[in-house]
Every structure is written in C-alpha cells, then in structure tokens.
Amino acid sequence: MAVVTLQVNDTTVAVPAGVPLLQALAAAGVALPTLCHHPRLSPVAACRLCLVELEGASRPLPACVTAAAEGQRLRTDTPALQAGRRLIVELLFAEGNHPCAVCVANGDCELQDAARHVGMDLVSVPYRHPSRQVDASHPLFLLDHHRCILCSRCVRVCDEIEGAHVWAMANRGSATRLIAGLDQPWGTVDSCTSCGKCVAVCPTGALVAREDVPLGRWPTP
C-alpha cells in the first residue's frame, strides 16, 4: 500500500494512504478523545470530539473519517479546537445524568477520560436533568439510560459483528434514546444472544454487567 507523509502539529509522520487521520495522530503520539469511534466498527463521526484543522480545508474535519493523503498539514490543538472540544464534553455531561460517584464505570469510563483530557472543571451550560429509565430486564446485564451518550457503538457492534440487531435509536433531537427491539424491555428481545459485546464497547456506565454491580442493588428479573 502506498505510504503518505503528512504533518501533525509540526511532527512528520508516515502512514498508509487513505487510512483515517486518527492513525496519523497516533503515529505522531497525539491522543484525542474519541467517543463514537471504535476501530472494529463502521465510523459514524457523531461525537465530533476528534475534529482537527486541516490546512486548506474550510472547516474542521473529524479525524476518524477523514482519509490521510500526501502532504496534509494538520493541527489538533488550536484554541478554537480546544474550546469546541471542551464544550462538547460539557454538553454531554449536561445532556444526561452522570453522577460518577455512584457509577460502576467510575474510573474506567471514556466520558470521564474525555473530561480529564479537555480539563473540564465545571460545566458552563445548564444541566437538563432529563427523566430517564433503567432497564433491568436482562438476566446478565443492565442498561442505565441516564448514562447513555447515544454514541451508537452498541447498535453498531450488535448489527455488524454479532448480527443480532437488538438495538436502534428511536425518536429524534433531544428525545433520542436507545431502544431494544420494538422499544421493549431488553430481556424480552428474542434475538439477543447475551453475548455482551454491547457492554464491552459502551464507553460509559450505561451498559454494564450485573456481576460488576455491588450485590443486591438491582432485582433480577
């Protein structure tokens, strides 16, 4: 495969032509938070946390879906990008309900990592405090909608790798939410194979294994 050379924040790196720019960032030792991206799943470029500035481009581009090409010069750390990235993380925290102190994923959460990365010390937008549910109908796993950031990793892993097609996004705008089957309790969806792949790829504590939850907190169905 042809190799291209490009510049990431003044570091020159070489990567195969056409790979996502994220790979060039990795080669340059630059880490950006990536919440919707997963290396084994199709890209959706939904979270916009990986936006970079490409010289000559009229707008910032998501590194997870932009192809590497010869001679590109990109920046990942301009004040505009930093401010935008931080605002996105703040909006994610304000959109759902994220009491980290009582979350199974506390300390092992990609949303927390993103907050740490952007140096979030307070959320400058008003919290929505939405009214959401917990789905405890599955014998092995739990879905806590409060902590779901709608990244759709679970939807894609179930569609593309397990082939069970359990998940989808329903509604639109601020009412968007994750559904199982025909918007039914997860435990009643026949096609679920209980493989746990959705739990494995969930960046937050929205999808968790019962065995990881302190004993007795949730009744078993």
Phi-psi region at 38: left, alpha or beta (left = phi > 0; alpha = psi -120 to 50):
beta
Which listed option, ligand FES, ligand SF4, other proteins, none, makes contact with residue 150 (CB within 5 to 8 Å by class)?
ligand SF4
Position of tokens 């435990």? 187
Cβ proximity of 15 and 2 under 8 Å:
no
Question: For the chain, how big is the Rg over CA atoms in Å?
Answer: 19
Note whether 34 binds ligand FES by CB under 6 A: yes
Residue with Cβ nearer ligand FES (38 or 146): 38
Note whether 49 binds ligand FES by CB under 6 A: yes
CB of 25 to other proteins, least distance (A): 19
Note whether 36 binds ligand FES by CB under 6 A: yes
Note whether 86 binds ligand FES by CB under 6 A: no
Rounded CA-CA distance 66/3 in Å is 16
The distance in angstroms from the start CA to the end CA of the chain is 52
Residue with Cβ nearer ligand SF4 (73 or 181): 181
Q: Which residues bind other proteins (CB under 8 A)?
A: 40-43, 156, 159-160, 165-172, 179-183, 189, 191
